[in-house]
């Protein structure tokens, strides 16, 4: 059984209102406060600010609203889709998700971030499959669109891998998927 400590303190009316609301969700004030303190401690321990955590959550909830910036929209209107690649979205989104530069992350962390963003969050793909053969890696992206989508997205992710200083050896494109073979340089 967990040892319980009595806490006697004052909080603002606003915070008390939040506590009452959370108490209904978690069953009691004690459980609500315990959960909130543990969450805040985990955020502090990971050295990420609360605002950044909330921003990430908002990005994953409202992902469609984040993908197109003014420049990207302008490029699409002017029929210059290749210019979108210049903005390095994959790199930026992976960096935001990891909380560090992707060049400092290991390969499995990067793949987990890509899955979290593009399979779970944005639903651009139904799956991202990794295949390792000696020093050649293959990433296969499965989707339900068409070959044109595969062609565009293969460039998009090849650009990301090259930014991580990997050497692309082959890109295979089909109707419902594409794969990128590359040599891992870390």
Condensed to tens digits (0 to 9), the pLDDT of residues 62-118 reads 555 445 556 666 666 677 766 666 557 788 888 888 888 999 999 899 999 999 888
Listed by start position, the domains of the chain span 13-47, 61-183
Type and span of the H or E element at 178: strand 177-183
Residue 11's nearest CA partner among 3, 34, 20 is: 20
Type and span of the H or E element at 177: strand 177-183
Q: Which pLDDT score is estimated for 77?
A: 67
Summarize the confidence of residues 144-173 as an average pLDDT: 90
User: Is the pLDDT at 178 greater than 90, yes or no?
Assistant: yes
User: Is the pLDDT at 48 greater than 50, yes or no?
Assistant: yes
The CA distance from 87 to 76, in Å, is 13
Higher pLDDT, 27 or 55: 27
Q: Which pLDDT score is estimated for 65?
A: 47
pLDDT single digits (tens) 118-133: 888 778 899 999 998 8
User: Is the pLDDT at 57 greater than 80, yes or no?
Assistant: no
User: ∠163-167-170 over CA atoms, to 5°?
Assistant: 115
Q: Which pLDDT score is estimated for 35?
A: 87
Q: Which pLDDT score is estimated for 161?
A: 92
Counting residues of the chain whose pLDDT is more than 90, the rounded percentage is 27
User: Is the pLDDT at 55 greater than 60, yes or no?
Assistant: yes
The CA distance from 118 to 90, in Å, is 9
Average predicted confidence (pLDDT) for the chain: 82
Architecture of domain 61-183: 2-Layer Sandwich (3.30)
The tokens for 72 are 């990207």
pLDDT band at 176 (very low <50, low <70, confident <90, very high): very high
């Amino acid at each position: 059984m967990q040892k319980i400590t009595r806490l006697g303190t004052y909080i603002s009316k606003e915070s008390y209102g939040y506590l009452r609301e959370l108490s209904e969700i978690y069953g009691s004030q004690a459980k609500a406060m315990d959960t909130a303190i543990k969450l805040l401690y985990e955020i502090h321990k990971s050295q990420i600010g609360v605002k950044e955590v909330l921003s990430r959550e908002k990005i994953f909830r409202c992902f469609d609203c984040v993908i197109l910036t003014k420049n990207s929209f302008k490029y699409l209107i002017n029929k210059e889709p290749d210019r979108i690649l210049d903005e390095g979205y994959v790199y930026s989104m992976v960096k935001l998700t990891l909380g560090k530069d992707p060049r400092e992350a290991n390969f499995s962390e990067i793949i987990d971030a890509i899955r979290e963003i593009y399979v779970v969050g944005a639903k651009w793909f139904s799956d991202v499959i990794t295949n390792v053969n000696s020093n050649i890696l293959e990433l296969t992206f499965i989707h339900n669109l068409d070959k044109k989508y595969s062609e565009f997205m293969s460039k998009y992710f090849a650009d990301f891998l090259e930014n991580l200083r990997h050497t692309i050896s082959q890109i295979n494109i089909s109707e419902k998927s594409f794969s990128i073979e590359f040599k891992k340089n870390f």
